[in-house]
Amino acid sequence: MQGTPVNIIAGSHVWVEDPDEAWLDGQVSKITGNDVEVTTTNGKQITSKLSKIYPKDMEAPAGGVDDMTKLSYLHEPGVLQNLKSRYELNEIYTYTGNILIAINPFQRLPHIYDAHMMQQYKGAPFGELSPHVFAVADVAYRAMINEGKSNSILVSGESGAGKTETTKMLMRYLAYLGGRAATEGRTVEQQVLESNPVLEAFGNAKTVRNNNSSRFGKFVEIQFDKNGRISGAAIRTYLLERSRVCQVNDPERNYHCFYLLCAAPQEEVEKYKLGHPKTFHYLNQSKCYELADVSDAREYLATRRAMDIVGISQKDQEAIFRVVAAILHLGNIDFTKGKDADSSVPKDDKSKFHMKMTAELLMYD
């Protein structure tokens, strides 16, 4: 990734680092020893070290290339410029060989994930169609079928990059390839897909950068039989950020499940003695209670439906939400010094009420 100082002379078209714009393109106006003066296309004069100057490919197509191995220069400004040109045309996917780079469009693009799209990528040679997450899933699936070996797809990126959504797309495509004709009862693929809302309710939260940030890592294993049909799945989660339950920074939110339960149908809210999230210490450390365009009441019902499909019994669901409610009440218990040297007692009637509710919900005396 080092610059090639050899061919940079006065008049060369280059990329130069800029504190505001990251990289600017321009022409070399003067070279003095190791220092290079560049006049950028937007009229700035920038002096930089020769080692920090990169040549600009003047033949690169205006709309960028779909596979970056085709670029003349695979340096940082060249890569970023290519991704930017494509992003401006709503092309959010770009290859570098067999690696797919995805840029979060921060909007829904349903047309590029519909059944017609899945049909197109099914069995198409890699690289023949535009870069797409379905193409990556297809290659992994075909390799597994043809070689009879397990395959892994790694999805990585920083917070808000779109890992959660990308994983859902991969699962959807694999369920499409390995699905059976609609038969009686719940299909395995349905269960695989419906595990997402459940995991998200209990493992995702709003952070500064992302409204639905996974606060845990997950390893999703989908098993196929010898005919290439989905036969089972296992999802392992690890590194759940548990400290978030009792401490939330403004303007973030705690895990979705707490807000969903506070917005549950009236009889449940009364049964668990809940109220507005602002009445609970574990939720009111941040002033953010709602998410834009998301109805917690609707999400609660969707989560319950997903739990049904995944096969969690009514009795278990009941127990799960009892624990969620108990945690909220637990956060509202304050203690004060008791009569004995090392003893504590609930501070006031409010604390006593929440203590009684916690005990009831957890079925303790």
What are the binding residues for ATP?
A: 157-164
In angstroms, the CA 247 to CA 174 distance is: 38
What residues form the annotated binding site? 157-164
Q: How far is CA 159 from the centre of its chain?
A: 7
Is 260:254 a contact under the CB 8 Å cutoff? Answer: no
In angstroms, the CA 276 to CA 58 distance is: 59
Q: Which of these, 234, 232, 230, lies nearest to 221 by C-alpha position?
A: 234
Helix crossing, 188-203 with 163-177: angle to 10°? 170
Give the count of beta carbons closer than 10 Å to the beta carbon of residue 54.
22
State the sign of the Cα–Cα–Cα–Cα dihedral 3, 8, 10, 15.
negative
In angstroms, the CA 299 to CA 202 distance is: 12
* Environment class of 312 (CB within 10 Å of its CB; exposed 0-12, middle 13-18, buried 19+): middle
* Environment class of 28 (CB within 10 Å of its CB; exposed 0-12, middle 13-18, buried 19+): buried
In angstroms, the CA 168 to CA 215 distance is: 16
With vertex at residue 209, the alpha carbon angle to CA 205 and CA 211, rounded to the nearest 5 degrees, is 40
